Every structure is written in structure tokens, then in C-alpha cells.
Amino acid sequence: MNEIKLERHVERLRQGDNSAFDYIYEHTNRAVYFAILYIVRDKMYAEDILHDAYIKAIQNLHGYSAGTNFIGWLTVIARSLALNHLKKHRREVATDFTEEAYRFGGSEIELPEIFALASKILAEDEYEILMLCQVAGYKRREVAQMLSMPIATVTWKNNQALKKLKKHILEEGGI
């Protein structure tokens, strides 16, 4: 993803050009969605919170410092909303473990059992990097920019996450 192009669209949106939102959403929604999904672990709530995060971001766009990490800023908003959701719904238990729970944007994510397992055994940063690199299709360089991490750290955490999953599956004899 081109960070400069994203910044230009953010500036256009800031100036009132609502057509810039389409580009921003298209290039940021997967990263934000998986950050939320990791916290709430429910597709329906994750999609609702995703939309709320974009609304809140647009309302507070004046608070974003141009040239900093827009995706990071947006993800902080989304995580905050997701954590607030958890506080409100503390006693509810997610019960949607069907394949339908892992649909996003009209396409089905393969192997939902592995994603559920990953969310249980991986640290939050490992899970997020794994989802962004392996599922969302971002390059490690792009993930490094999004998360403000060195590319070597992203590569290492991605590899470690894959090794942990493989080890767990081999030791447990499946998922």
C-alpha cells in the first residue's frame, strides 16, 4: 500500500471530498477488521464496530496528525471501541462458530478452525500480523508500516506464529 497516496486521500477527506473515503476504506478495512475481530471474536459485532470506527474517525479527522501512521491511528480508535463493547457485553458469550461467522466482504475465509485456534494460542500482535500477512494479503513491508514496526520484527513474528500453529496442530493431532 502506498502510504503517501493514503495520506493524500485522508487530506482530501479532511477538506470535504467524500469520494476519498472509498479509497481509504478499501485500503484500510482489512487491517482494522482483524484487529477488532481479535478482541470481540464475533463477526457480527466486529462488522458493526468496524463501521462505528470509521464514523468516529471521520468525526475526529481533525485530531489526526498528517504524516503519521493513519492505519495505526484508525486501529487505535477501532480497538478502543472493541474494548468498550466488551465492557458493555461482558456477560455475553459468542456462540457463532459456524463457517458463516468467518465471512467478510462477500468472500469466505478458508479454514476457520485454524483462525479460531490462532486467536486462542497466539499473542495479539502475532495474531494481527498473521491475519494481515496470510489472510488479508498485505506484504510484510506494508504490515510493518501499518503497525510501526521494523520489517524484521514483522517477519519474525509472522514466522513464529506459523511455527506455533504448526506445533500445536502436530502435537494435538489436529485442530
Say what the pLDDT of residue 138 is: 81
C-alpha grid cell, residue 56: 468516529
Q: Comparing 1-99 with 110-175, is the CATH topology the same?
A: no
Distance, in Å, from the CA atom of 68 to the CA atom of 83, rounded to the nearest integer, reads: 24
Provide the pLDDT for residue 95.
Answer: 46
Tell me what pLDDT residue 73 has: 92
CA distance 96 to 42: 7
What cell was used for 1?
Answer: 500500500
User: Which grid cell sits at 119?
Assistant: 486467536
- In whole angstroms, how far apart are CA 159 and each of 30, 121, 166? 20, 14, 11
Domains of the chain, residue spans: 1-99, 110-175
For residue 80, what pLDDT is reported?
Answer: 93
Rounded Cα distance between 48 and 36, Å, is 10
128-141 pLDDT, tens digit each: 888 888 877 788 88
In this prediction, residue 105 carries a pLDDT of 41
What pLDDT is recorded for position 134?
Answer: 80
Tell me which residue of 118, 94, 109 sits closest to 40, measured CA to CA. Answer: 94
Domain 1-99 has what CATH class? mainly alpha
* pLDDT of the residue at 174: 58
d(CA 95, CA 42): 8
Task: Find out whether 97 and 43 touch, Cβ atoms under 8 Å.
Answer: no
Class of domain 110-175: mainly alpha
Helix (H) or strand (E) holding 99: none
Residue 175 is predicted with a pLDDT of 55
Ranges in the chain, pLDDT < 50: 93-111
Asked if 11 and 64 count as a contact pair (C-beta separation under 8 A), the reply is no
Q: What is the reported pLDDT for 49?
A: 96
Residue 1: per-residue pLDDT: 53
Looking at the DSSP bridge assignments, the partners of residue 104 are 107
